Chain A
Amino acid sequence: MKVLIVEDDADMRRLLKMVVEGLNAETQEAEDGESAIRSIEKGDTPDLVLLDLHLPNVSGSEVLDAIRKHCNSAVVIVTADVFAASEFVEKAEGVFTKPFKPKELLVKISSLLGRR
């Protein structure tokens, strides 16, 4: 099981990592959209991507497009933008707005990974 965390805020990355590690999954981190896209295009195929929307330079929306193009990873949006979040309800496997409940995110992630 491999989970890619795309998040520019270090604290948030750490928190998300802690949540994911509770499931004994392997984590990989990307600080911005560009490095996330690079890793996907290089051939990485994470089972799940935790994706922030507001990212430096390349937006989360573009990262999502790249993921859809290159692999079939499940994508869970984790964003503080409550207005943009609603746009992604159809496009992603899950949408969480900050602040989220780690337990709820854990349940969601485990159900998504369990299906694979």
Chain B
Amino acid sequence: MKLIRKLEIPDTFAPDDLRMRRILNIVLLAFLTISLAAMASTFAYGDSLFDVLHDDEAKIILIGSAFMFLISLTLFGVNRSQKVPKNIVGIVLVAVMLAITALADHPRELANGRSLIFWFLPIVLSLIVLPPASVFIVDAGVFVFLVVYAETLEQVNIFAMFTVVVVSVLGWLGMSIANRAIQDARNEAETNRAILSGVADGVIVLDEQGRITLANPPALNLLDGEIHKLNNLLDDDYRELGGRSLSFTWSRVEGVGNVAVVRDITRQVEVERAKDALLGVVSHEMRTPLAAILGFAEMLKMSPDSADMAERIQANAERLMRLVNDLLDHAQIQAGALRLSKESFDVRTLASAIRDQFALMAVEKGISFAVDVDADLPQKVVGDPHRLQQVVTNLVGNAIKFTEAGGVKVSFRCGKNSTWQIVVSDTGIGIPAERLPDIFEPFRRASDYDTRKHQGAGLGLSIAKRIAALAGGDITVVSKAGEGSTFTVTLPWEAP
């Protein structure tokens, strides 16, 4: 392992430099191996070094390969040093290759015979280890040898020269295209990396196994270097970390995995909290005078003369109170701050609370009012009993308000697919078809505010629908103008 590390080119080089030096390293390793093999092969000429040195051909091969070995070893060392430009190493290597080729055989054979093919060695080598265009300089060197080695001018091998030029041009084109492609790919990668580092938002990429494969500098900064300690990142859309509020937006990217954009929303969260606090104070401040109005009104009712007036005070104050509560709920819903509790409660208790709450009102209006609970419905369900009562109170209150004859019926029953339902049906004025689509929109009644007959800001149904949605359920409506309405609250059934 240590040896392999020695052979490696340090990563401190520029990308282009690094690639070229790695190629040079491989070529030089091949040269070292070949020269060692050539030295070893000389022992075929005799049993000892003495025999080898007395054979002229063997001597030439031995000295030549030893020379090549030393040159390769030197260049190998030089190649790992940042002090020597990479092209110097390449030029020396190609020059040595050209020299070895020129001395490899009898000039006659190199000019016109069996060894013509060897001239391609320095040419191919220059294409690999030098900038591609330098192949033509090597070609010129080869031509000089071909002319010099030819015995007469007529014997200069024009065909060989032509072949050398064709191979060089093809090689140059091929290597230029390849280098250009590498350059383009690198530029694109650099651009992408620069964009990823430059954007203000953090970007995190998780692979299919949930491992972090990429995190840009803003992400590392936002996550405070604790990025690898974050478990179950995928489940997060919001997290508090180091006093900052972070939002995570996930998207699936085919072939990449899950990509999250991490954003610092500390400021927005602060604004939201300040708004919530303000609303809390406003509601609190309104409650105290309201308490006085309502309280005195009730005390006043005990005195017969002022009973009627007192009742009006009370009714108006209560209306104001409902409005404040609705506004607060609406603001909380808009801010995504409305949270439902999860507790086990008795459906029949809720049903009887609804019955107690509205029985008198129905009697006063002269309409019938019935609340029944399906015998199949389990005693206990899980949910937020107070918010659910708010939903039912709103629906029943509306039903009674809009019904002048007939009656209102509330049924608690089992639904399909592990759900349960609360159905509020009335025989009231109903809802015109054109009104049905936006009945759950907040402030939907603002358009006919001046002329409407019934009170209310039009927030109740939108709040009810939202509460049902937060509980994992829904509210649907079936209605016909003049024939009444049926609202159905469907909620998931959870075993206590």
User: B-contacting residues of A (Cβ < 8 Å)?
Assistant: 9, 11-12, 15, 18-19, 54, 80-83, 97-103
Tell me whether A12 and B298 are in contact in the complex, defined as CB-CB below 8 angstroms, given that A99-B287, A99-B317 are known contacts: no
CB-based contact B288/A9 at 8 Å:
yes
Chain B residues lying within 8 Å of A103, measured Cβ to Cβ, are 298
How many Å lie between the Cα of A103 and that of B299 in the bound state? 9
Tell me whether A99 and B293 are in contact in the complex, defined as CB-CB below 8 angstroms, given that A12-B288, A80-B287, A83-B280 are known contacts: yes
Query: Please, which residue of chain A has its CB at the minimum distance from the CB of B298?
Result: A102
CB-based contact B288/A102 at 8 Å:
no
Chain B residues lying within 8 Å of A19, measured Cβ to Cβ, are 295, 299
Query: Looking at A9, A15, A18, A97, which has the most chain B CB atoms within 10 Å of its CB?
Result: A15
Instruction: Flag whether B321 is at the interface (Cβ < 8 A).
Output: yes
Known: A11-B292, A80-B291, A100-B291. 20 other contacts (CB 8 A): A9-B288, A9-B292, A12-B295, A15-B291, A15-B295, A54-B284, A80-B287, A81-B284, A82-B284, A98-B288, A99-B290, A99-B293, A99-B317, A99-B321, A100-B294, A100-B295, A101-B298, A102-B295, A102-B299, A103-B298
Interface residues of B in 264-308 (CB under 8 A from A): 280, 283-285, 287-296, 298-299
A sample of 26 cross-chain residue pairs with beta-carbon separation below 8 angstroms, ordered by A number, consists of A9-B288, A9-B292, A11-B292, A11-B296, A12-B291, A12-B292, A12-B295, A15-B291, A15-B296, A15-B299, A18-B299, A19-B295, A80-B285, A80-B288, A80-B291, A82-B287, A83-B280, A98-B287, A98-B288, A98-B291, A99-B291, A99-B294, A99-B295, A100-B294, A101-B298, A102-B299
Chain B: minimal CB distance from A27 (Å): 15
How many Å lie between the Cα of A82 and that of B287 in the bound state? 10
Chain B: minimal CB distance from A8 (Å): 10
Chain A: minimal CB distance from B301 (Å): 10
Chain A: minimal CB distance from B311 (Å): 14
How many Å lie between the Cα of A103 and that of B280 in the bound state? 27
Chain A residues lying within 8 Å of B285, measured Cβ to Cβ, are 80
Chain A residues lying within 8 Å of B298, measured Cβ to Cβ, are 101-103
Chain A residues lying within 8 Å of B280, measured Cβ to Cβ, are 83
Chain A residues lying within 8 Å of B290, measured Cβ to Cβ, are 98-99
Nearest first, the 7 closest Cβ-Cβ pairs linking A and B are: A98-B291, A80-B287, A99-B291, A99-B294, A11-B292, A15-B295, A98-B287
How many Å lie between the Cα of A82 and that of B283 in the bound state? 9
How many Å lie between the Cα of A9 and that of B287 in the bound state? 12
Chain B: minimal CB distance from A99 (Å): 4
Chain A: minimal CB distance from B29 (Å): 76
Chain B residues lying within 8 Å of A54, measured Cβ to Cβ, are 284
Sort chain B's interface into a size bin. Answer: 10 to 19
Chain B: minimal CB distance from A29 (Å): 16
Chain B residues lying within 8 Å of A100, measured Cβ to Cβ, are 291, 294-295
Chain B residues lying within 8 Å of A99, measured Cβ to Cβ, are 287, 290-291, 293-295, 317, 321
- Of B287, B289, B293, B296, which is within 8 A of A97 by CB? B287
Chain B residues lying within 8 Å of A82, measured Cβ to Cβ, are 283-284, 287
- Of A15, A83, A101, which is within 8 A of B292 by CB? A15
Query: Looking at A9, A18, A99, A102, which has the most chain B CB atoms within 10 Å of its CB?
Result: A99
Chain B residues lying within 8 Å of A15, measured Cβ to Cβ, are 291-292, 295-296, 299
Chain B 172-211: CB-based contact to A (< 8 A → 1; otherwise 0): 0000000000000000000000000000000000000000
Query: Please, which residue of chain A has its CB at the minimum distance from the CB of B283?
Result: A82
Chain B: minimal CB distance from A73 (Å): 23
Chain B residues lying within 8 Å of A101, measured Cβ to Cβ, are 294, 298
How many Å lie between the Cα of A100 and that of B348 in the bound state? 26
Chain B residues lying within 8 Å of A18, measured Cβ to Cβ, are 299
How many Å lie between the Cα of A54 and that of B291 in the bound state? 15
Chain A: minimal CB distance from B340 (Å): 16
Chain A residues lying within 8 Å of B292, measured Cβ to Cβ, are 9, 11-12, 15
Query: Looking at B283, B287, B291, B321, which has the most chain A CB atoms within 10 Å of its CB?
Result: B291
Interface residues of B in 119-159 (CB under 8 A from A): none
How many Å lie between the Cα of A54 and that of B287 in the bound state? 13
Query: Please, which residue of chain A has its CB at the minimum distance from the CB of B321?
Result: A99
How many Å lie between the Cα of A97 and that of B288 in the bound state? 9
Query: Please, which residue of chain A has its CB at the minimum distance from the CB of B289?
Result: A11
Query: Please, which residue of chain A has its CB at the minimum distance from the CB of B285?
Result: A80
How many Å lie between the Cα of A103 and that of B287 in the bound state? 18
Chain A: minimal CB distance from B374 (Å): 32
How many Å lie between the Cα of A15 and that of B288 in the bound state? 12
Query: Please, which residue of chain A has its CB at the minimum distance from the CB of B287?
Result: A80
Chain A: minimal CB distance from B384 (Å): 14
Chain B residues lying within 8 Å of A12, measured Cβ to Cβ, are 288, 291-292, 295
How many Å lie between the Cα of A9 and that of B294 in the bound state? 15
Query: Please, which residue of chain A has its CB at the minimum distance from the CB of B296?
Result: A15
Chain A residues lying within 8 Å of B289, measured Cβ to Cβ, are 11
Chain A residues lying within 8 Å of B294, measured Cβ to Cβ, are 99-101
Query: Please, which residue of chain B has its CB at the minimum distance from the CB of A97?
Result: B287
Chain A residues lying within 8 Å of B284, measured Cβ to Cβ, are 54, 80-82
